[in-house]
Amino acid sequence: MKHIVMFSGGVGSWAAAKRVAANCGTDELLLLFGDTLIEDEDLYRFLREAADNVGGKLVWIAEGRNPWEVFRDERFIGNSMADPCSKILKRNFLRRWLDEHCDPSDTTVYLGIDWTEIHRLDRAASRWAPWTVEAPLCEPPLRTKEELLQLASDEGLQPPRLYELGFPHNNCGGFCVKAGQGHFKRLLEVFPERYRMHEEKEEGLRAHLGRDVSILKDRRGGHTSPMSLREFRKRVQSEPWSVDELEWGGCGCAVD
């Protein structure tokens, strides 16, 4: 029986893999990582150390494009309603790898979602059919993310730096097209050069498409309109009080 953990580089997938290893051993355990090519450099450090800690085999694959290259090829900028980046670089690509290397009759796929996200498990099960899908962190003992980070530290692992810097996940270098204003404000504060790179990529693609499209939305005054990362940066700098710092959002790459 093969056991495939969707190993994202986050603490949740590490903790899920630890439970699978404890219950099933590591002889047939594969830790499958799909690289979007815009990950934070510390993710790669944690990925290797976490895989060594779990045991099993780390399988590191990449489709070959980053999210902005996908947006250009699809002629569509991802946003809170649609994420062609994770669909193409994660879900479809990882599914293709499974189809080529595994048999659903003797393979179980494990996700790192926890009990606070259990509503996503049914969607994941239908999306990954006919593969059997399990989420070990949705079963007792139930742990908070803070407890999982402490467990990693107790194992001698240094948690990924993005958590300490205030990001809710360790994917895509703190960037996510499903993220909200609070998330992008944090990206601007912590990684201004990284933010500027995404801003320039968005501006270039807006010009290429010839349309007023963007990742973020402006919902002031009861109306919704596109708000570019450039416009948002200027608002943060000139009118910080007008930014919705409680809007975080976030992507479920292997699920949604």
pLDDT per position as a tens digit, 112-149 = 999 988 888 888 888 889 999 999 999 999 999 999 99
- Tell me the domains of the chain and their CATH numbers: 2-167 (3.40.50.620), 173-242 (no CATH)
Angle between helices 67-74 and 192-209 (to 10 degrees): 10
Spatial separation of the C-alpha atoms in residues 207 and 202, rounded to whole Å:
9
Reported as half-sphere exposure (CB side, CA atoms, 13 A), residue 11 has a value of 24
Instruction: Locate the DSSP E strands across 86-215.
Output: 107-110, 132-134
Mean pLDDT score of the chain, rounded to an integer? 94
pLDDT digits (tens, 9 = 90+) for 144-181: 999 999 999 999 999 999 999 999 999 999 999 999 99
Q: Tell me the Cα Rg of the chain.
A: 19
Of 95, 137, 133, which Cα lies nearest the Cα of 118? 137
Mean pLDDT per 10-residue section of the chain, whose length is 256 residues: 96 98 98 98 98 98 98 96 95 96 96 89 86 96 96 97 94 95 96 98 98 93 92 95 82 57
Structure tokens at 144: 């908070």
Residue 152 one-letter amino acid: A
